[in-house]
Structure 1
Amino acid sequence: MTFTQKLTFADYLALEDSRQEEKLELINGELIALPPEAWLNNDIAMFVFLQLVAIGVPFQRVKVNSCELQTPVLEVGDAANRYPDLVVVEPVHRAHPSQRMTITLEMPPPLWVMEVVSPGKTNRDRDYIRKRAQYAAVGIPEYVIVDPEEQAVLVLRLEQGEYIEAGRYTGERPLQSPTFPALNLTAAQVLSAGQDG
């Protein structure tokens, strides 16, 4: 769905709820409908969701494919909003549980985000370059990229406004999350979560 009227982010937030049933990205003032989530991406996100809850993160703070983040437009073509595959929010974000699940730039950043890379150069560039820059600008302390094609998990830690690599994990090497050190997972476990059970 594309609209001809150029919208600001405030205009977008003011849209009626009927238009918010689908995921929309605001790009260059236009609303662009996102395709449905891939089974693989959703399965991996749900698996990590369960692992985070198992180590004591309240399930209400872990959102799979549903929490929207306002992001700064750093380059032409950047979306002004993103829907991470998995996001861990702070209690302040849930201060009003009935409000829309959108974290704006005026709010503190979420604690942690994870993206599962979909096939194709455009998707790779979006997750590795554009979202990386936008999430760093928002101030999200940890960004995890799960890459099924490369069979790797990249953990990025925010330092002085930029992400540095905290670790790149493959196979049976245990992941080390600066934010969740109790998260006892290997890259193989995360990557195999999307396989048929």
Structure 2
Amino acid sequence: MAIGIKQSLTYEEYAAFPSDRNRYELLDGDLLVTPVPTPQHQRASKRLQRQLEAYFEEQGLGEMFAAPIDVILSNQDVFQPDLVVARSDRIASRGIEGSPLLIVEILSSSTRERDRVLKARRYAQLGVPHYWLIDPDIPRLECFRLESGQYVLAVQAEGSATLEHPDFPSVTIRLAALVR
């Protein structure tokens, strides 16, 4: 079960947490704790990374990373998204500093509302241009684009459909391959 602890924390306090089996994040200073992902979750993450990694690097758009890696958007906003694409000038020794090009979250029963509402709102406020949500239970992929400070749905697909992204020519994602 994911929990949130209301207490204003900074990156320095966050960095002092133990390295255990939980995923720790800060959302506007509030501590978020999530248990380790399920095999279904990890499978979807790994398979999407395989489908996308070469595209982003070959196009010079950035490097793709899988969790756990800190994405430090402010001193009180530190996330560990399932997948993230960042330009080389954002990659530092402590993680990704500043807004990456893309954040991908894979929904689970314990993170669904947090990822869909709280994180989406905060990522938009902090200027993350692209935010994708994968629901492996349906399966569905929703790709949001930041416009005027809010996310709008750019494209989505579900079931066994193949998704072609309008902002990333030549990106084709086979949903069935993510969750089989």
- Using the size of structure 2 for normalisation, the TM-score is 0.78
RMSD: 2.9
Structure 2 runs not aligned, ≥5 long: 1-6
Return closer, same or farther for 1:168/1:8 CA change in 2, 3 Å cut-off: same
Q: Distance in 1 between matches of 2:9 and 2:37?
A: 26
Q: Shift of the alpha carbon at 1:175?
A: 1.2
Structure 2 matches for 1:73-88, cutoff 5 A? 80-88=77-85
Q: Secondary structure at the match of 1:134?
A: helix
Structure 2 matches for 1:1-197, cutoff 5 A? 8-12=9-13, 15=16, 19=17, 21-22=19-20, 23-26=23-26, 33-55=33-55, 57=57, 61-70=63-72, 80-94=77-91, 96=92, 99-103=93-97, 107=98, 109-120=99-110, 123-192=111-180
Amino acid at match of 1:133: R
Return closer, same or farther for 1:136/1:151 CA change in 2, 3 Å cut-off: same
Q: Secondary structure at the match of 1:87?
A: strand
Q: Shift of the alpha carbon at 1:132?
A: 1.0
Contact 1:112 1:142 in 2 (8 A): yes
Contact 2:64 2:86 in 1 (8 A): yes
Q: Shift of the alpha carbon at 1:82?
A: 1.9
Contact 1:42 1:65 in 2 (8 A): no
Alignment partner, residue 4 of structure 2: none
Return closer, same or farther for 1:70/1:147 CA change in 2, 3 Å cut-off: same
Amino acid at match of 2:101: L
Structure 1 runs not aligned, ≥5 long: 1-5, 73-78, 193-197
- Using the size of structure 1 for normalisation, the TM-score is 0.72
Q: Which structure has the bigger radius of gyration?
A: 1
Return closer, same or farther for 1:41/1:179 CA change in 2, 3 Å cut-off: farther
Amino acid at match of 2:63: R
Q: Distance in 2 between matches of 1:55 and 1:33?
A: 32
Return closer, same or farther for 1:20/1:49 CA change in 2, 3 Å cut-off: farther
Count of aligned pairs: 170
Choose between structure 1 and 2: higher strand proportion.
2
Contact 2:53 2:63 in 1 (8 A): no
Q: Distance in 2 between matches of 1:50 and 1:111?
A: 18
